[in-house]
Amino acid sequence: MTTSPLAPTHGVCLLCKTPSPTIDTLGPDDEWRCPRCGQLWTAARVKGAAAYAAWSAEYDRVAPLAAVTL
Ligand SMILES: [Zn+2]
């Protein structure tokens, strides 16, 4: 994986894509609750979710559903 550990959120809630002016700039003690899905975001949670999203995208590319045999 070549992405930075601080993957950008593109200024949106990582769950429902509601625009947030602050989600990319949360400090260690800051939090932002998404008005649409109710997810409470902290800097650590954003970082973890962004990292998972990047991993998931990479995994889908490397191991597509064709690997599943039915
Ligand atoms: Zn949301």
Domain positions in the chain are 9-59
Cβ atoms of 42 and 23 closer than 8 Å: no
Q: If you measure from the C-alpha of residue 53 to the centroid of ligand 1, how many angstroms do you get, rounded to a whole number?
A: 15
Q: Residue 15 Cα, ligand 1 centroid: separation in angstroms?
A: 5
pLDDT for the residue numbered 70? 56
Give one DSSP letter per residue of 23-69, joined into a string. Answer: GGG--TT-EEE-TTT-PEEEHHHHHHHHHHHHHHHHHHHHS-GGGS-
State residue 8's pLDDT score.
Answer: 63
CA angle 8, 14, 19 (to 5 degrees): 85
pLDDT at 13: 93
Q: What parts of the chain have a pLDDT lower than 70?
A: 1-8, 64-70
pTM: 0.67
pLDDT value of position 66: 59
